[in-house]
Structure 1
Amino acid sequence: MRIINNQNILTNQQIEGIIKLLGKNYKPRTLVVYETRLDIIKFYPQCHNFSLDEFSGELEGTYDESTDTVYLFIFVQTDDGDDVHSKQLYSLHALVHELRHRFQAATNFLTADDEKSERDADYFATHFINSNSRKISKIMHWDEEWIVEEEE
């Protein structure tokens, strides 16, 4: 797997650890992490043609089945003050959500219904993060476990 990432928020090793927990059907060919809007321009020649939605911060991530690439937009996440762990946690949630879309495409699971696909990916990401919080905390080198709280 090729990872394009500045590694200021999530390291490649941390990302690989999370993907290892998920399994081989979740591993894309390429993963691009945009920490800032400037990274969209910086990585543009190597990556995907971004849209206004992505640049404006309306998307947390996207999966491009044609290139088997996951794009993660970390700059969208707020950090609940000055706590980088919260930003990392919700970035991981977005990552797992997009990796679930990769799984859906690789296994022909729910690909025909976008609404069900989105609900499945969101539920899966929340459940995965919360049920693996101890392992994830270890991978991330956090002193305590964190859980995802869904917004209504």
Structure 2
Amino acid sequence: MKIINNQNILTNKQIEAVIKLLGKDYKPRTVVVYETRLDIIKFYPLCFNFALDEFSGELEGIYDESSDAVYIFIFVQTDDGDDVHSKQLYSLHALVHELRHRFQAATNYLTNNDEKAEKDADQFATNFINRNSRRISKIMNWDEEWTVEEE
């Protein structure tokens, strides 16, 4: 697996450890982490053709089935200010959400219903993060466990 990442918010080792918890059906060919909007331009030749939605911060992540790549937009994570743990937690949630889409595509699970696929990916990511909060806290070197709160 190739990871393109500045490693200021999530390290490659942390990303690999979370994907390992999920299992081999969730492991994509490539993971690209955009910490800032500038990273979209910086990594552009290596990645997909970005659109206004990505640049404007309207998407937390994308799974591209044709290249088996997951793209995560950390700069979108501003709900709790600049708290790095919150950015990490919700970026991991976005990562797991997009990896669930990879699983859906690989297994033809809910591929004909976008609404159900989105709901499944969101619920799966929230449940996975919360069920594994102790292990994820260790991976992330957090002093306490964090959980995802859905609105």
User: TM (normalized to structure 1)?
Assistant: 0.98
Q: CA deviation at 1:79?
A: 5.6
CA distance in 1, matches of 2:81, 2:63: 29
Whether 1:99 and 2:103 are equivalent positions in the alignment is: no
Alignment of 1:61-76 (within 5 A): 61-76=61-76
| Mapped partners of 1:133, 1:57: distance in 2 | 27
1:38-92 Cα shifts (integer Å, max 9, x gaps): 0000000111100000000000000000000000000000161342101100000
8 Å CA contact 1:34–1:75 kept in 2: the answer is yes
- Quick one: distance in 1 between partners of 2:78 and 2:13? 23
Counterpart-to-counterpart distance in 1, 2:11 and 2:110: 31
Sequence identity of aligned pairs in percent? 84
Using the alignment, how far apart are the partners of 2:31 and 2:80 within structure 1?
A: 25
Q: What one-letter code is carried by the residue in structure 2 that aligns with 1:48? A: F
Report SS of the residue matched to 2:15: helix
Task: Please tell me whether the aligned partners of residues 89 and 146 of structure 1 are also in contact (alpha carbons under 8 angstroms).
Answer: yes
Q: Which amino acid aligns with 2:2?
A: R
Structure 1 vs Structure 2 CA RMSD: 0.7
Please list, as runs of the form range in 1=range in 2, the aligned pairs for 1:112-151 lying within 5 A after superposition: 112-151=112-151
| SS of equivalent residue, structure 1 residue 33 | strand
Opposite residue 125 of structure 1, the aligned amino acid is A
Structure 2's unaligned 5+ residue stretches are none
Runs in 1 of length 4+ with deviation above 6 angstroms? none
Amino acid at match of 1:109: Y
* TM-score, with length taken from structure 2: 0.98
Aligned residues: 151
Amino acid of the residue matched to residue 84 of structure 1? V
> How far did residue 100 of structure 1 move?
0.2
Conservation of the 8 A alpha-carbon contact between 1:79 and 1:85 = no
- SS at structure 2 position matched to 1:38: helix
Q: Give the structure 2 partner of residue 78 of structure 1.
A: 78
